[in-house]
Every structure is written in structure tokens, then in C-alpha cells.
Copies of this chain bind each other. A is one copy, B any other.
Amino acid sequence: MKSIPLLLMGCGGVGRQLLQHIVDTRSLHAKQGLLLRVLGVSDSQIMVIVPDVFTTGLTDMHLTEVCRLKSSGSSLQAMNSFGECQILKSSEVTKRIVDVAALLGRSTGLVLIDCSASSETIGILNRTIDLGCCIVLANKKPLTSQIEDYEKLVSNLCQIRYESTVGAGLPVITSLTRIIASGDTVHCVVGSLSGTLGYVMSELEGGKPFSQVVRAAKSLGYTEPDPRDDLGGMDVARKGLILARLLGLKINMDDIKVDSLYPDEMGPSLMTTEEFLDKGLPSIDTTIAERVKKSSSEGNVLRYVCTIEGSRCQVGLEELPKNTPLGRLRGSDNLVEIYSRCYKELPLVIQGAGAGNDTTAAGVLADIIDLQDRFP
């Protein structure tokens, strides 16, 4: 039986779902001779870890209890009632992770998984890589940090996987990695990478006012609590940066031109969410309706997309022909078009749900399994 030792940072929705998936797939993976051995789990305050990282792992009962505690908003501190686990304070976590990585890096190997939303993990991820371990990320922030940090992180592509940072479980990174490995030249990538904005743009085609569509999206649970977090385009830009860097562009967040769907004077520092929804949004309705009408009159549709072409990466509204995969997109699916030497006139298209804890955690688990050949 091949054993893959894991350490998980981040116990939010995706992290918890990952632990649940690991428990649920035990017998499936055992059939393939694989054992996923979870050594420890940390949130921003506490780490729960087994005392002997060489042979033991948290039991399924431990993992289920971690999920239960975190779902109910309780502290992982309660795990100290299980005598077999050690509980570490947040100040001790980084040192312990590095110690474990140093111990296992050259022997059994280790996968450090980042399901946090922290921008502070880049240091520990880079040290873990240096110690010969692997990392799997659902967290976009380490990949959108400054280019120097990023390049260190991906210096050995065999040690890192991060499929779930773009389009959740959709095989976008995997497909681009394969295309690049085969020597195919990517000319252009265009993607609708926000389910929220995908839904908004396709609803606008029916003639509904922008403000009404955004409010509907909010009540359907498609948007962040403050819809400006979606409408500003920064989340799409982060995904765009990850794809652009994968394609070899040496750029930072600042280099991406991001068109927000609301003007600066309606920003969060100048208006509350309620004011934005009640007064701000309706005042943009006419402008947006005119853009929709104009593109429709030219046989096009308006989409909020990320475009990477040549050395350019930009995020914003684009008029696209109706009879393209992006033009035909409806609802909240993500969709990526990849144009390359092999997919020249008609792109390689990947489409599907690009969000959700279940799907995102499934992508993380597939990444872990994909690393199995690096383990003895």
C-alpha cells in the first residue's frame, strides 16, 4: 500500500469538504493501493496533528469530528478530548509544518494542501517546496503574489498542483499544462471565469435591467454578500493572472487591465451595500442596457471575460459573436476557450460549474492523487 502523507491548511468550506471526500474515498483508493494519511489540519488559530508523523494519521473519526466542529463554528481546541492528537497554538503552527516537511521531504514525501484564503501562506509553501515536498492549492493568493514569489513556487512544476484555483474542479489548468507540454503554441485564452457575472450577462440579453438582474443573482445566492466583490472583476483578474503566468507571461496583478462593472464613486468606501443596491445600481441601468443593445444590433453578445493574448491580459466586457461557445453560454457555468496551433479556428472548450465546495474539493483531491508517482 502506497501512503501519501498530507497536511491541510484551511478548514473553511473547501477544506472541510476535502476531509469528507478523503473519508468517503478510502475504499476506492485502497483498491488502487493508495492510503491518504492526514497528519494534521490547521485553521487560523489552531493545528491538530498526530504525534508520530511517520506512521500514523488522523482517523476517520478525527476527520469527521474536525468537520463537525468547524461546521458548527466551534474551535478545534475541542479536539484535545481525543488523547491521540496534539493541539498547537497558531504561533507554533508554521514551525511544526516546516519540521514535518524537513522530516518527510526526503523520505516518505509530503503534500501540504492550502485551502485557506490567506495571503500569508506563500512563505511556508515555498519552504515546503524547498524541502522536496509537494503542494496543492485551492488558495489563489500564493499564485497571485509578486512574480518573484510565484516563480519560486512553480520552479519545479512536478511538485505543485493548483487546478481548483480556476474554475473549481474544471480541468482548465490540467488541459493548458498538457497543451504546453506537447509543444502546442497557445495563441489566446478567453474565459468567462465568474459564475455570477456569467449569469448576469446572459440574463441581460433578455432585456432585463442590470439592477434587477444583480438583485436576482444576490437573492439566488450567486453573489458575495456585497455584489461589488463580484462586479469589480478582481476575482476574475486573479484567475486571469494564474492562467497568464501558466502561459509564461511574467506579469503582476497591476499589469492586468480590469474594467469594473460599477464606477469608482460607488465603491465600498463611499457607499454601503444597501445604498449601492438601491440607488447606485439603478443609475447604471441605462448605460449597460445601451451596451447590450449595441452589441445585439451588431449580431454580438456582451460577456464579462478574461482575455489573454500575446503579452496582454485584460478583464472586462467584450462583444463576442453570438455563434461562439462563449456567445452561446447561458446561466452560471464557467467557460474557457483555448486557441492554439492545434485548436486554431475553433477553440478547445471547457465548460461547467466553476464554483462550489464539493466541486472545488474534488479538484483538490484529484490533484493529490495526480501526485502519487512522487511517493515511494
Chain A residues within CB distance 8 Å of chain B: 21, 24-25, 28, 32, 157-158, 163, 169-171, 174-175, 178-179, 181-184, 323, 325, 328, 330-331, 333, 341-343, 346-353, 356, 358-359, 362-363, 365-366, 369-374
Please measure, in the bound complex, the distance between the C-alpha atom of A331 and the C-alpha atom of B349, giving whole angstroms: 14
- Chain B residues with CB under 8 A of A325: 351
Given contacts A343-B352, A349-B351, 8 further A-B contacts (CB under 8 A): A25-B182, A32-B157, A181-B369, A182-B363, A182-B366, A331-B346, A342-B358, A371-B373
**Closest-CB distance, A166 to chain B (whole angstroms):** 14
Residues in B neighbouring A369, C-beta threshold 8 A: 178, 181-182
6 residue pairs, one from A and one from B, having the closest CB atoms:
A25-B183, A373-B373, A182-B362, A348-B352, A178-B366, A349-B351
Q: In the assembled complex, which residues on chain B have CB atoms less than 8 Å from the CB atom of A347?
A: 352
Per the bound structure, the CA–CA distance linking A363 and B181 in Å amounts to 9
A358 contacts across to B, CB distance below 8 A? 341-342
- Complex-state Cα separation, A301 to B275, whole angstroms: 47
Q: Which of A28, A181, A328, A365 has the most CB of B within 10 A?
A: A181
Specify which chain B residues have a CB less than 8 angstroms from the CB of A25 in the assembled complex: 182-183
Query: For A373, what are the chain B residues with a Cβ–Cβ distance below 8 Å?
Result: 158, 371, 373-374
User: Which of A330, A331, A343, A358 has the largest number of chain B CB atoms within 10 A?
Assistant: A343
Q: Distance in Å from the Cβ of A354 to the closest Cβ of chain B?
A: 10
22 residue pairs of the A-B complex, CB under 8 angstroms, read A21-B183, A158-B373, A163-B178, A170-B348, A174-B175, A182-B363, A182-B366, A182-B369, A184-B362, A323-B330, A333-B346, A341-B358, A342-B356, A343-B352, A346-B352, A347-B352, A348-B351, A348-B353, A349-B350, A351-B351, A371-B373, A373-B374
Residues of B within 8 A of A158 (CB): 372-373
Contacts of A348 in B (CB 8 A): 170, 350-353
CB distance from A15 to the nearest CB of B (A): 15
Among B21, B182, B359, B370, point to the contact of A169 (Cβ < 8 A): B182
Distance in angstroms between the alpha carbons of A342 and B343 in the assembled complex = 27
What are the residues of chain B within 8 A of A331 when measuring CB–CB? Answer: 346
Q: Determine if B175 and A365 form an interchain contact, defined as CB atoms under 8 angstroms apart.
A: no
Q: A374 to B349: give the CA distance in the assembly, Å.
A: 30
- Contacting residue for A343 out of B24, B181, B330, B353, CB 8 A: B353
Contact partner of A353 (CB less than 8 A), chosen from B183, B342, B362, B372, is B342
Nearest chain B residue, comparing its CB with the CB of A24? B183
Residues of B within 8 A of A362 (CB): 179, 182-184, 342
In the complex, what distance in Å separates the CA atom of A111 from the CA atom of B323? 42
Query: Complex: how many Å from CA A175 to CA B173?
Result: 11
Measured CB to CB, the nearest residue on chain B to A374 is: B373
A11 to B: closest C-beta gap in Å: 19
Given the complex, which residues of B lie within 8 Å of A342, measured CB to CB? Answer: 169, 353, 356, 358-359, 362
Instruction: Report the bound CA distance from A323 to B178 in whole Å.
Output: 30
- The verdict on A349 contacting B349 (CB below 8 Å), with A181-B366, A369-B181 known, is yes
Minimal beta-carbon separation of A4 from chain B (angstroms): 12
| Complex-state Cα separation, A21 to B325, whole angstroms | 29
* A136 shortest CB reach to chain B, Å: 12
A130 nearest CB across to chain B (Å): 17
- Are B174 and A171 neighbours in the complex by a CB distance under 8 Å? yes
